[in-house]
Structure 1
Amino acid sequence: MYRLLLVPAALLLAFAVAADGQPFPVAGLPKLKPLEPAEAAKAFEARPGFRVDLAAAEPLVRSPVAMDFDENGRLYVAEFPEYNQYASPTPSKARGCVKLLEDTDGDGRFDRATVFAELDSPVAVACWAGGVFVGVVPDLWYLKDTDGDGKADVRRKVLTGFDRDKAGEAMLNSFRWGPDNRFHIATGLAGGNLKPADAPDAKAVLVRRQNIRFDPRTGGFEPTSGGGQHGLTLDDWGDTFVCDNSNPIEFLAYDAKYAARNPYVVAPSPVVDVNAAGRYPQLRRISPPEPWREARTRLRKDKLVPGSDEGGQPFGFFTGATGVTVYRGDAFPPEFRSNIFVGEVANNLVYRARLEPKGLGWSAVRADKDREFLASKDVWFRPVQFANAPDGCLYVVDMYREIIEGAAFLPPQLLALVDVAGGIDRGRVWRVAPDGFARPKPPQLGRATTAELVGLLAHPNGWHRDTAARLLYERQDRTAAPALRAVAEGSAWPVARMHALHALAGLGVLTAGEVVPALGDPDPRVRVHALRLAEGFGLSAGLSNKLQALAADPDPRVRYQLAFTLGAFRGETAETLLTALARRDAADPWVRLAVLCSVGDRGGAVFSRLLRDAGGRGAGTTEVLLALAAQTAAANRPDEVAEVVKGIDALPDAERALARQLVQAFASKLPPAARPRFAGLAAGKTGAILTDLLADAAKTAADEAATPAARAAAIRTLGLGSFADAKALLTAALAVRQPPAVQLAALEVLGRFDSPEVSAVVLAAWPGMSPPTRASAAETLLARAAWVTALLDAVEKGTVRPTDLDPARVQLLQQSADGPTRARAAKLFAGVGLARRAEVVAKYQRALDLPGDAVKGKAVFRETCAACHKLEGVGEAVGPDLASVKNRGSDAVLTNILDPNREVLPQYYSYLLVTDADVTLTGMIAAETANTVTIRKADGTSETVQRVNIASLRSTGLSAMPEGLEDKLGLQTAADLLAYLRSIR
């Protein structure tokens, strides 16, 4: 513990005194010294039965963030000393590099390091063909040593366009070899617009919130499902997991390539949180409080610096989860196989969970109840990544830094207490091994024959299997085919049979003759992979028969994959099987998704098949029918539209309720331009139903005795008709006496109509609107260019005050791509919301000293923050997790509130989306899939747009959290809000 001395004001933050009477600096240098490697090893507490050995340390390595073992057991390490140096007053000139580490005496500790290549900020590395691929934003490089001196003399840029995260925490990372003969690469939160480096004129591929699957032989790539921040892992069967700061274990439930087949599918996010313990599992941290936290708390308690003393205590939940890794080695006891490990860099520990099947996904169940698998008393221990190793153990990449979070997230007075370069010249690689472990002789797979590599596909250590599979793909030795076929047909180990099938595919010699028998493999996981491989073949009679049999497969994961695979085939067989799967498994939302992805332009046919068989519809079939009706309308293919209308017309009167649902779902997605043709087709029952729906909606919308929710629903139905028919009701719904839910529904529906009269309706009601309703009205008016002009006219006339608009929207108007709009906005909103952030932050420091009322602060949160943040079940989890952010201290939180653009993580940028109907939406991307983008607008509402309907989408470079919140927060209100955030446990 420390005690503080009273010192002259000029030295107030300069010195403190430790308990032993020795002074230590508070500003600029760490107060707890880093431990030398031998001492750091003693600071670990591992699960009983395990030990931690040092495999490498400084000066051989410094600031390591990634590593990969080559086929001969040598270790390539990516070093990232540039991390956080942007925030240093005296940035280090140290440059990143990739090092090659070797254990020359075989004692299990690397003793020789060669700088393989110097690079700027390398963050990922993977071995290939005697060299390495290295992630160096914005590029992916291939480096190779051809003259044997240990240094790369081949440097080839392969891909370009990866985006940079200023903090360095969320860029491309985690290159992992998959059973499909591809590297799976996480793009982090930054994502990018990728293209081959040697094709500058090629169209860039957007990979925001998606990962990529990369072919190292051709340089080709394709987007796949993604998410997470830093960390990606595959299990033995290729199931993929990612993590982010607060969500340690997330499962990718489907491959985005399947959703991309049908651009009209509204697909849920593939990222599923499977951590059974949730975000707050009470981690068993054993390290002391960070020195800067303790120093800050002491200074505050003694009133030597402003602010409350809530900080300084270790916290027991995830705020820095990284490097998620499935253990696939053979050195640990069998019960540890397929366990999943996560580094918690902020708590100096390694978390472990067991993967247990749950439905079509997984549940990650905490494995260590009263302790963590590995924890350190050393606050400098930063386990950023892991690797399954040739010796079967789990290796830990320890970046070993004083501070691991983005420095710009700390306010200046806090940065004065730390050294952002602390540990820049240090770093460790640790080996976690079971007690009594005897390290085997390092492998020499580079010298293995092709036959020996085939044999290794059945090795119990996943590293050996992956490396053998990679080398087979590298060598392209087709003489391996007979041995591979023998493994695929006769190996006793299912995972070897799976690898052999993919190896045959990688050599280009896989035939339907190997795939069809594999579809009947006794192991369902092999059948799943055989289905994926079957997508490359035509629908022969033999394959067709197998697919029909699999529609009744006892394993739901096989049927799930079959539903996706059927999208690769045409013809009646595929339609019949998709219908059968919808009847049997539609109760599961993931199977419904797979069916909808695969119907493609056969939506009308599958819709008719399901609709005709009323007695055979199972649970969830109605949801499939509604989705098919909606996506068929959105696609607007005349033959499918006609088939849907015909099907609805043929429904018996006993199913009129279903018919009404189907008409509403269909009409809601039909493009306005297609409505005249639809009116001609729907002269029968379908047209009559639509007429009845609109008549009923008009009656309920006008009925002030009805509940606001019922009226709001009815108003939304009015959007299925014409503006002329709905105008009077929508105008009345905006009257000042109407409930907010009714007003907001009217604004939502008005925004759907492309009529110049809409702006007049909205602006006429503006004076009587409450601030929240005005926020939604502004979003409506800003959606179309003509309405923006009308809004600016109203500002000019004084009907709308400049301060009525959110500062963020004012800023966007002032940055409009349209010159006249930009000029008018600059004049009309001169001085609005443009206070200098540094001055605002300095002014509001007084709020840190005021006593706050947590109860009042909760009300402030509901009104001001809940549209994007969620706490205690209130609000929307769109923005950062405030429960974790608050552990940085109230001063940091206050800075982030008042100066949101000081540093913005990529997922919290504001975007401008323009549809093909010239509608503009502005806000944060709340969700994103291969098919859709969901924009969270400033008024707290969200809108999902199919990618096929997006004309343009660009980042504003600004935080979605607006500047200017001080206009809504007085000093006492800010103090109340901070008190509430501190009260959260």
Structure 2
Amino acid sequence: MDRFFSVVRGLVGGLALLGLTVQLPAAEQELKNTHAEDPITAKEALARLEMPEGFRATVFAAEPAIHQPIGMSMDERGRLWVAECYTYSDRNVNFDKTLRDRVVILEDPNRDGYAEKRTVFYDQASHLTSALPGLGGVWMLCAPQLIFVPDANRDDVPDGPPVVKLDGFDNDSVRHNIANGLSFGPDGWIYGRHGIQATSLVGVPGATASQRTPINCCIWRYHPITEKFEVVCHGTTNPWGHDWDQDGQLFFINTVIGHLFHVVPGANYRRMYGSDFAPHVYERIDTCADHYHWDTKKQWHEERSATGETDRLGGGHAHCGMMIYQGGMFPPQYHNQLFTMNFHGRRANVERLERVGCGYVGRHEPDVFKSGDPWFRGIELVYGPRGELYIADWSDTGECHENDGIHRTSGRIFQIQYEGPAASKVPVLPANFDLAKATDAELVAYHEHPNEWYARQARRVLREKLLTDRLSSDAVPGLMKILAQSGDYRHQLRAMQTLFTLGKISDEEIDKQLLHPLEPMRVAAIQMLVDDRQIEPAHLQHLVELARHDRGGLVRSFLASAATKLPPKDRWGIVESLAMRSEDASDITQPLMIWYAAESAVASDLSRGVKIAIATRIPKLSKYIARRVTSELERSPAAVNELVIAIGASPYPEQQTVLLEGMTDALKGWRKAPVPANWSEVSTKLSSSPDENIKRLARELAMVFGDGRAQDELLKIARDDGADPQARREAVRALVESKNKEIAPLLLNWIGDRILSVEAVRGLAYYDQPETADRLTAAFSKLRPEAQEEAINTFCARPAWAEHLLLAVSKGWIARTQVTAFHARQIRSLGDEKLIETLTKVWGETRESSAEKKALIASLKTSLTDESLSSADASRGRVVYQKQCANCHTLFGEGGRIGPDLTGGNRHNLDYLLENIVDPSSTVIADFKMSVLLLDDGRVVTGVVIPESDKTVALQTQKERLIIERDSISQSTQQNVSLMPEGLLQTLSSDEVRDLIAYISGRGKK
């Protein structure tokens, strides 16, 4: 406590030099820092802020007036509302519920760049990430709740207790992926964000589970009047910033897997991990940026310290806060440019949003506002009524994972203005500036202001007047006049958005805007027609006509988006029309948007879906429709037969290929499927195709359909020493996965085969042959490394074979280091107590107590000093990594995608690394909980179960993704442990451990 107040006293004196008058409330809560150091002063941090010529910065506010700023927004008076989050703690505590978060209002009446007044509006929040003033009070995200604190008289004192509007947001395992980012959209909804690390079930208080909406990584919205909650789009990792551009298009910022995404409602974007809520997404849209802000091929220390190539590319993988500048103060080259804070690069990245095809591409522009303060952690940025920019600095040395202590008594907000030669004329604001006191005519006129801030605030104030019966009769005609007569489409768009928010635009006027010569206006009209309401048949027909004829790619994208909001029966006209737009066949996003729109319609009428699959010239759409139709084979065999007939009749090999690919994808994992009536005839025709790929796909389908001719053909290929090696390997795999009995004895003979060894050894696991273990043991030393790895996997599939493996290890025939922690846990999962006892003697203990793990971590920290790691051999560490980690994790752009991408992890932090390696199950994300499956052929397989369909599941093992028929699973047990096993370091020497850690963390000698 004494240390805290000594810090405060010192800073008060320093901040007085910056012109900041500090007003402390009567009773401040005790804030304890667990970080051993303190940041440089705010004045020193300001001096280290690099800016382009003509820009000037001030410390708008700093500690002790402000701490831990996690979110910012502005009200109609130009005041800054800041959410302060004290409850966010280190990884072990997660959120400290003994503390309370608060909302602070900062004011700068004389507009000199310093906040002379601070008011604490609310100080009883918890898990606070965002505070948004408007509509008679303040909206706050305090997971698990979205609350509304009323303040109708705007005296900055709550009128009463908070009103819970939504609940169900996760506030525990979600950690730094917690719901965040409240803002009013141009459509009148409140928008927010949610990360991937947990699933929340969100609904109004008292809603049942079936009435709630499941969300994880997404953009969501909530209507403050109707109280409807919905997901706008799914995907990514941890979005923590969004904004709308001058054309009304929404973009959001993300971390690790790609930083920039253009929001098309109904879209499914790339996920860092996990499965989608909808089972038939099939493929996701990737980032719209054409670049990364870090070097995916260089060592991690460059990425973390933002040096070298990573510095040139933008500073690092993590982004927080985002705005699209439309403030009017900055030079023209910054207008409508996207700014986001690069967390590790300690700067703002700038993106140019360029229209391409049916969407956008983000191009990297020069970075700005780079901080030389090592504690700088930019977390939010907004612009104000004069076009000035505010940047919130969390001010700490850690990041979202917080493994190095908490510093709660720091936090800064910088204000940046442009005063150079090209500076626009900035409005002089009076001390009592307040748009709520403006006349309705003035509020309407603000829609033509060069600063978008005025239009957004005016829209909200007009809405508040409407809701309180204070809207004058001339407001709507004034907006209609701008819509009809303005020579600037941006002003027309603003007026149209406000009219829609007020509910004062007619369907006829929206229809009229569908014919506007400019794309942004047509897109806005499309969105309005389908926004949370039933569409009239005449309006639907207008959308169909646009889908047929509109030349705007963005219009076509939003027509697909509009269709996702319609009942399946109303989607067909739009889907069928878009499917014929061959110019979109190679577009990055549009084929997937059409598929997202088509999926439920196809499911409702499979025959009509087949007709689209044949008629469209968009290959990806054909493939996914074929896959969706085929997935219904048992329920609707006639529709699948129509597809088979169409494939046989198609004169286009390319079309046949994509349709066959869709069918084979749908039937992966099926052991036997009903045979379509016309399959035999069509199969004969396909088998004579000159296209080898078509013949291969036809054979795969024939295997599932139980066609003995296909089995014979594959056996012939597998046995043919002169055949193409890859064709032989594919034939063996196909025969094994179909449980062909004739292949079983051949596999034993091929154990040492130069071409087929790996597939043969892998395939032996599927057949319970008594001699398998002996034959593998005898041949093991002569196998190539990849075949040896498969041999260990096969040994671990059955208890009797695992016993042979452990005997071989004890005798020294197979090296103990060949058996990884994954294999050890697989053996334990076999459930044989005697086998587990032998495993412990021969290999070691696979489960340590919590105390033992802590002791091991402490011991490793003692040996893995900075000096030790800097002298390590990172090249040898890479070799260890490839064997121990690369199957599951991507690092520097290489490796598997089973577990999280390590390139975006907190790998410079030794505590974080060791905790996750030594004790990976201490915190288990639901998507990574391991299951043990006993199959009806006697095998035991372990991995993460991912629902695939009502017929199959996907099992993500440490090696591959298996598609398994549900009927073949005799027993399934989910364990509260991570797919990543304990004991990964157990078979490594101390030098290997050192080199591995050095490689992962980017240290050591190359």
TM-score for both structures, normalised by structure 1? 0.77
Q: Which residue of 2 aligns with 1:205?
A: 213
Q: Quick check: 1:377 aligned with 2:372?
A: yes
SS in 2 for 1:982: coil
Aligned partner (choices 830, 838, 860) of residue 854 of structure 2:
838
Gaps of 5+ in 2: 1-32, 270-275, 421-425, 687-701, 810-815
8 Å CA contact retained: 1:329, 1:392: yes
Q: Which residue of 2 aligns with 1:407?
A: 402
Counterparts of 1:595-606 in structure 2, within 5 Å, are: 595-600=594-599, 601-602=601-602, 604=606
Between 1:252-261 and 1:145-154, the stretch displaced more is 252-261
Q: Which residue of 2 aligns with 1:684?
A: 681
State the distance in 2 between where 1:984 and 1:488 align. 64
Q: 1:272 to 1:191 in 2, by over 3 A?
A: farther
Q: Quick check: 1:222 aligned with 2:230?
A: yes
8 Å CA contact retained: 2:354, 2:363: yes
SS in 1 for 2:1003: helix
Q: 1:255 to 1:759 in 2, by over 3 A?
A: farther
Q: 1:257 to 1:425 in 2, by over 3 A?
A: same
SS in 1 for 2:395: coil
Counterparts of 1:229-268 in structure 2, within 5 Å, are: 229=238, 231-236=240-245, 237-246=247-256, 249-252=259-262, 254-256=264-266, 263-268=279-284
Counterparts of 1:105-504 in structure 2, within 5 Å, are: 107-110=112-115, 111-145=117-151, 148=155, 150-151=157-158, 153-164=160-171, 169-203=176-210, 204-223=212-231, 224-229=233-238, 231-236=240-245, 237-246=247-256, 249-252=259-262, 254-256=264-266, 263-275=279-291, 278-279=294-295, 317-318=315-316, 320-368=318-366, 372-404=367-399, 406-408=401-403, 415=404, 420-422=405-407, 424-435=408-419, 440-441=429-430, 443-448=433-438, 452-473=442-463, 475-476=466-467, 482-504=477-499
Q: 1:507 to 1:622 in 2, by over 3 A?
A: same
Q: Which residue of 2 aligns with 1:6?
A: none
- Counterpart code for 2:135: A
Q: Deviations over 1:129-173 (max 9, x none)?
A: 222222223332222235746246231223333334679533222
State the distance in 2 between where 1:643 and 1:650 align. 11
Q: How far did 1:596 drift?
A: 2.0
Q: Which residue of 1 aligns with 2:73?
A: 68
Q: How far did 1:200 drift?
A: 4.8
Q: 1:945 to 1:81 in 2, by over 3 A?
A: farther
8 Å CA contact retained: 1:232, 1:240: no
Q: Which residue of 1 aligns with 2:3?
A: none
SS in 1 for 2:549: coil
Q: Deviations over 1:70-110 (max 9, x none)?
A: 22323321111233356699999653212233445665533
8 Å CA contact retained: 2:820, 2:987: no
State the distance in 2 between where 1:92 and 1:832 align. 37
8 Å CA contact retained: 1:634, 1:670: yes
8 Å CA contact retained: 1:251, 1:361: no
Q: Quick check: 1:737 aligned with 2:727?
A: no
Q: 1:946 to 1:430 in 2, by over 3 A?
A: farther
SS in 2 for 1:498: helix
Aligned partner (choices 510, 517, 527) of residue 515 of structure 1:
510
Q: 1:67 to 1:744 in 2, by over 3 A?
A: farther
Q: Quick check: 1:556 aligned with 2:572?
A: no
Q: Quick check: 1:888 aligned with 2:903?
A: no
Between 1:593-602 and 1:472-481, the stretch displaced more is 472-481
The RMSD of aligned alpha carbons is: 5.1
Q: Which residue of 2 aligns with 1:939?
A: 958
Counterparts of 1:857-872 in structure 2, within 5 Å, are: 857-871=877-891
Q: Deviations over 1:261-304 (max 9, x none)?
A: 98534122454454465547999x99x999xxxxxxxxxxxxxx
Q: Quick check: 1:974 aligned with 2:983?
A: no
Counterparts of 1:534-683 in structure 2, within 5 Å, are: 534-535=529-530, 536=533, 538=535, 540-541=537-538, 544=541, 547-566=544-563, 568=566, 570=570, 573-574=573-574, 576-581=576-581, 583-600=582-599, 601-602=601-602, 604=606, 609=611, 618=617, 621-636=618-633, 637-638=636-637, 640-652=639-651, 655=652, 658-659=655-656, 662-663=659-660, 665-670=662-667, 677-683=674-680
8 Å CA contact retained: 1:263, 1:931: no
8 Å CA contact retained: 1:85, 1:92: no
8 Å CA contact retained: 1:98, 1:116: yes
Q: How far did 1:323 drift?
A: 1.6
Q: 1:345 to 1:597 in 2, by over 3 A?
A: closer
State the distance in 2 between where 1:261 and 1:870 align. 24
- Counterpart code for 1:158: K
State the distance in 2 between where 1:429 and 1:349 align. 14
- Counterpart code for 1:340: L
Q: 1:953 to 1:240 in 2, by over 3 A?
A: farther
Q: 1:853 to 1:715 in 2, by over 3 A?
A: same
SS in 2 for 1:98: strand
Q: Which residue of 2 aligns with 1:709?
A: 726
SS in 2 for 1:431: strand
Asked which structure has the greater RCO (Cα within 8 Å, sep 6+), the reply is: 1
State the distance in 1 between where 2:111 and 2:983 align. 62
8 Å CA contact retained: 2:630, 2:667: yes
Q: Which residue of 2 aligns with 1:754?
A: none
State the distance in 1 between where 2:755 and 2:957 align. 17
Q: How far did 1:406 drift?
A: 2.7
Gaps of 5+ in 1: 1-26, 291-312, 409-414, 752-756, 783-789
- Counterpart code for 1:832: E
State the distance in 1 between where 2:670 and 2:362 align. 49
Q: 1:761 to 1:670 in 2, by over 3 A?
A: farther
SS in 2 for 1:857: helix
State the distance in 2 between where 1:460 and 1:791 align. 72
State the distance in 2 between where 1:930 and 1:539 align. 35
State the distance in 2 between where 1:90 and 1:576 align. 50
8 Å CA contact retained: 1:250, 1:273: yes
Q: 1:706 to 1:533 in 2, by over 3 A?
A: farther
Q: Which residue of 2 aligns with 1:20?
A: none
State the distance in 1 between where 2:951 and 2:185 align. 27
8 Å CA contact retained: 1:897, 1:965: no
SS in 1 for 2:141: strand
State the distance in 2 between where 1:241 and 1:761 align. 60
8 Å CA contact retained: 1:794, 1:800: no
Between 1:802-811 and 1:656-665, the stretch displaced more is 802-811
Between 1:501-510 and 1:327-336, the stretch displaced more is 501-510
Counterparts of 1:760-775 in structure 2, within 5 Å, are: none
Between 1:150-159 and 1:250-259, the stretch displaced more is 250-259
Q: 1:857 to 1:50 in 2, by over 3 A?
A: same
Q: How far did 1:548 drift?
A: 2.5
Q: 1:813 to 1:186 in 2, by over 3 A?
A: farther
